[in-house]
Amino acid sequence: MAFVSLRDNLDLSTPSGRLMFQIIGAMAEFERVLIQERVRAGLRHARAQGKRLGRPGVDVEVKSIRDLRAQGASLRTISRQLGVGLGTVHRALAARSKSVSEASVVAD
């Protein structure tokens, strides 16, 4: 059984049909690579112009997260109360604990 496209006049059961299909596939791959190169060039140009790329960061009060956590609030509750994502709360607490452990190593 072979693929036959009546609309595109493409019959993969014949050698010429298979050749045409491979040519179409190669052209599609070539176009995809050109798009990737243009995107990378655009990103390089934006960085060279000093533009910040990516999603903007969220400013969060680490002290308020610590205070809520000390009061026994769950991480989910803290994220809902402050209007930030759960991952942001995790990162804020991890950054805080990492800086505390580094400070204790330096003090020793």
pLDDT per position as a tens digit, 17-69: 889 889 999 999 999 999 999 999 999 999 999 999 998 887 888 888 989 99
- The span from the CA of 79 to the CA of 42, in Å, is 36
What is the rounded average pLDDT for all residues in the chain? 85
Rounded to whole angstroms, the Cα distance separating 51 from 53 reads 6
Check residues 97 and 18 and name the one with the higher pLDDT.
Answer: 18
pTM over 0.75: no
Per-residue pLDDT averaged across 67-74, rounded? 91
Domain ranges of the chain: 4-48, 62-107
